[in-house]
Amino acid sequence: MWYSLGPATTTVRGFWMAGRSALTSNILRVASSAKRIMGPVVVVVITALIVTGLYRNQPKPEVGEAVVNRIGVYVERATRTGARAEVTVYGEVRPRVQIDVISEVSGRVTSVSSRFIEGGSIGAGDALLTIEDRDYVVAVSEARARLAARRLELEQALADADVAKKQLAGEANPSDLALKKPQIAQARAGVQAAELSLSRAESDLSRTQISLPFDARITETMVDEGQYVGAGRTVASVFSTDVAEVRLPLTDADIAALGVPIGYEADEGAGLRVQLSTDIAGATRKWTGRLVRLDASLDPRTRSTFGTVEVANPFDVADGDMPMAPGLFVAADIEGRTLADVLAIPAAGLRAGGRVFIMNDDDLLEVRSVIVAHATASVAYLSSGVNEGDRIIVSPIRNPVAGMALSAIEETAEPVQLSAG
């Protein structure tokens, strides 16, 4: 005959699922046999005995033992190193010289260079365009004739004065007028005026051919062949290609990292090395320049200044390479001062207010103030506040309190890789 065990059966099954001990399994087998032999009353008694036995056999906690909840953190070790400070800033490329070309004389344009087009390149001294020079050639000839006449007048005045001097040799204190001195001065002034007129005429003649004193690229042309231009008329806009400049904003911290003063000017051919780069036409392009000067004043609102980087011959590149054209927005990595005997930590380990969190030898949180010699996006270089080998916490900690218990989730075997100076 089969009997329903009811709640007692449920209790036995609960202890079996928990897997308490081999004792439970043995008693269950006894209970199963008792169910068939002695009936439900005996089963209930046996079940009670099971519960009592399990309760008595459970482990007792040790007296004074406390459970410590440790917070898991990621750590990196501080590494002693030497490095070179590097400042990364951004700026726009501009030509060192950018001007409007203006005609200094009037006349009809008789010829233009084949490169007198937008984007065309013009060498130093090459003619952009030529203005009809016939009237200016005539003016030069007339000026030369006037000069010759003035010189003859001076020679005549000098001869007259010589004659007068001989005639008045026996007289005491002859007057300047009698000696022809005013006539000589007037003749000499006439010669000087004629020489200046000739010089002006020759200059005007040379200005009929418009050229530049530097290599350049044309950005805009404003006249065509056959067109009349007046003196003072803009004929083109150009920029120089011998040197490109990049103006870079620099903060107080940047200036300190570079190790140069406000108003710095480099010697000819010297200056801090700068690596410039940008992404254009589907590739990263790079150029090398020099930081040649810093402005001599600070912006009173931002407390910053500007530095100027020069790149020589920005258009002198190999076939297929990209010139450093005006208007490009570039990143500038400037090599600064040398950092000797500093401790490097990941930038993530540097906290607000110049602090770091350290996991000490007791695996407790320690908060220290540090002095930062230099910091980049990935590495902070410290001159004091930590020791070599200290475990720097690089992961966030919610509500950090000095002395809180920690557990290192991951500690790198190798120190963070740094660029040595």
- Which CATH number belongs to the domain containing residue 373 in this structure? 2.40.420.20
pLDDT at 10: 40
Segment 256-271 shows an average pLDDT of 90
Same domain, 111 and 218: yes
Same domain, 363 and 333: no
pTM of the model as a whole: 0.64
pLDDT at 295: 95
Same domain, 185 and 118: yes
pLDDT at 241: 93
Domain that holds residue 17: 7-57
Same domain, 246 and 354: no
The answer as to whether 360 is a domain residue is yes
The answer as to whether 416 is a domain residue is no
Domain boundary among 305, 338, 371: 338
Domains: count for the chain: 4
Same domain, 325 and 374: no
pLDDT at 309: 96
Segment 32-42 shows an average pLDDT of 50
Same domain, 207 and 131: yes
24-33, 47-56, 112-121: which is most confident = 112-121
Domain boundary among 292, 308, 338: 338
Of residues 283 and 32, the one with the higher pLDDT is: 283
Same domain, 151 and 205: yes
Is the pLDDT reported for residue 76 higher than 80? yes
Is the pLDDT reported for residue 230 higher than 50? yes
Same domain, 24 and 121: no
Average pLDDT in the chain: 83
The answer as to whether 418 is a domain residue is no
Same domain, 271 and 196: no
- SS3 for the chain, per residue? CCCCCCHHHHHHHHHHHHCCCHHHHHHHHHHHHHHHHCCHHHHHHHHHHHHHHHHHHCCCCCCCCCCCCCEEEEEEECEEEEEEEEEEEEEEEEECCEEEEECCCCEEEEEECCCCCCCCEECCCCEEEEECCHHHHHHHHHHHHHHHHHHHHHHHHHHHHHHHHHHCCCCCCCCCCCCCHHHHHHHHHHHHHHHHHHHHHHHHHHCCEEECCCCEEEEEECCCCCCEECCCCEEEEEEECCEEEEEEEECHHHHHHHCCCCCCECCCCCCEEEEEEEEECCEEEEEEEEEEEECCCCCCCCCCEEEEEEEECCCCCCCCCCCCCCCCEEEEEEEEEEEEEEEEEEHHHEECCCEEEEECCCCEEEEEECEEEEECCCEEEEEECCCCCCEEECCCCCCCCCCCEEEEEEECCCCCCCCEC
Of residues 412 and 187, the one with the higher pLDDT is: 187
The answer as to whether 90 is a domain residue is no
The answer as to whether 63 is a domain residue is no
CATH number at residue 287: 2.40.30
Same domain, 301 and 358: no
Is the pLDDT reported for residue 24 higher than 80? no
Segment 41-56 shows an average pLDDT of 50
The answer as to whether 343 is a domain residue is yes
The answer as to whether 208 is a domain residue is yes
Domain boundary among 180, 205, 238: 238
Is the pLDDT reported for residue 395 higher than 90? yes
Same domain, 406 and 285: no
The answer as to whether 320 is a domain residue is yes
Is the pLDDT reported for residue 35 higher than 90? no
Same domain, 115 and 216: yes
